[in-house]
A and B are shown apart, each in its own frame.
Chain A
Amino acid sequence: MRFSFLNLAKQALSAHRHWPEQWRFPEPKAEYDAIIIGAGGHGLGTAYYLAKEHGMRNIAVLEKGWLGGGNTGRNTTIIRSNYLWEESQGLYEHSVKLWENLSAELNYNVMYSPRGVMMLAHTVHDIQVFKRHVHANRLQGIDNEWLTPEQAKEFCPILNISSNMRYPILGAALQRRGGTARHDAVAWGYARAASAMGVDIIQNCEVKGIRRDLNGAVSGVETTKGFIGTKKIGVVAAGHTSVIMSMADVRMPLESYPLQALVSEPVKPIMPCVVMSNTIHAYMSQSDKGELVIGAGTDAYTSYSQTGGLHITTHTLDAICELFPNVRRLRMLRNWGGIVDVTPDRSPILSKTPVKGLYVNCGWGTGGFKATPGSANVFAHTIAKDEPHPINAAFTIDRFKTGRLIDEAAAAAVAH
């Protein structure tokens, strides 16, 4: 059932007790034309675009837990496209453009809010790096502008720009079209729209093995719900990518780290935008519920534990208290972790693999939520056509062999 004013009014008459389920809960068929492993935003989105733009409807998304329960439901939802290199700008900007229309496209409110993302500079080096980003972005027609500390404070009035901070603010780069969206709604919106086109989303179904035929091509997956045949597999499993790829004997240039976030008790609107500081390791925004959403860098060591050390979050809060003195007495409500898959050059991999029929979308690390629609869109193209879309052509696994890395360490230094 579509969400519309008419349907809302109709359902109101029966006290909203008769809305249908948003997606189906099917049992797996014996065989599909393609299988996506991982029902996060990127995996569900891939299935959606495969069905919608490439006419592949006999497909399934397999999820070991519940849909959207991975990093998609754990992230701090910052969206921006102010990356340094043309390849990245193409990919992230493709995504921002899709965000702008996504609620209408999915008939589901993903609450995309382009409230502006401001990145603070505290050192001469920061100033040089951010100005370089501003110029690189503007050459590509992507908005990004340089602000003085006073202009930064005007944009975010609770910001402390006094000169007696430990790391005073010397300026800021602002991308006005950057912002946030509702993370769960992105997973739910894609799931609902994909399911309506016939995509089977199978939850509580963990992939345990990848079966291959005599020529080495994939022929199906072993799961906790039995064997399911297919000739095309798209792995979209974030922190668990190395584990799944090893089932097909493919080694990956990835390491999985815990990344934490936390939220405060809810308060009235005090923060109109997103503020990030790579140098002192903190970023913050305010959700529509009123909670301050706070995050920082990863823990130091690789792990699959989905928790991290408390010293990481306290370090973040030190920086937050310095940047925003008026939040010092707020209590923190919740703290959690996700497992992020980090590549050596901090850019993702959306690529064919040495195994025929096996495709991988991973390496989004600390910053892939913003890319969800764009990534899903070009990855669906890659699977359907068995060749990359021009936008993701550079994001191969092979780049680590050829040396054509896409180094975004400066753009992604603090997790976001």
Chain B
Amino acid sequence: MLLIPCPHCGERPELEFRYAGEAHIARPADPSSTSDQEWAEYLYFRSNPKGLHIERWRHVSGCARFFNCVRDTVSDKILKTYPAGQPKPDLAVVLKEAGQ
């Protein structure tokens, strides 16, 4: 089980959270001028990397807030969490901060 550091509540067991998929995917701003391909990208296509993944979690049994998380999908190690709304971090910097 993962130990997930909620940016608002601190480290808690995975059971308190709900996974919410890849982060920083913005809904098309102007739906009527969005092409089928762009809708498909937004709804269904994912980067699914083997390595660092930026994802959303929701602390359902705690503060109930969404936040973002950088996790290595090979080791499942969490490198960083940060509140929703902050810009996408530079992964090279995240790696350096984590001492890797």
Contacts and interface: CB of A to CB of B under 8 A. Distances in A.
Interface in B34-62: 36-37, 39-41, 43-50, 53, 55
A243 B45 contact: no
Most A C-beta atoms less than 10 A away, residue of B14, B47, B48: B48
A311 B55 contact: no
A302 B14 contact: no
B73 A302 contact: yes
A402 B40 CA distance: 8
A309 interface: yes
A309 B2 contact: yes
A310 interface: yes
Interface string A278-307: 000000000000000000000011111100
A252 B18 contact: no
B74 interface: yes
Interface in A238-273: 240, 242-243, 251-256
A69 interface: no
Interface of B: 1-2, 14-15, 18-19, 21, 36-37, 39-41, 43-50, 53, 55, 71, 73-76
A162 to B, nearest CB: 29
Interface range on chain A: under 10, 10 to 19, 20 to 34, or 35 or more? 20 to 34
Contacts of B71: 301
Contact of A311 (B14, B41, B48): B14
The 6 tightest CB contacts between A and B, nearest first, are A242-B48, A253-B44, A300-B19, A401-B40, A309-B1, A400-B44
A86 to B, nearest CB: 22
Contact of B36 (A251, A252, A254, A402): A402
Contacts of A243: 48-50
A208 to B, nearest CB: 13
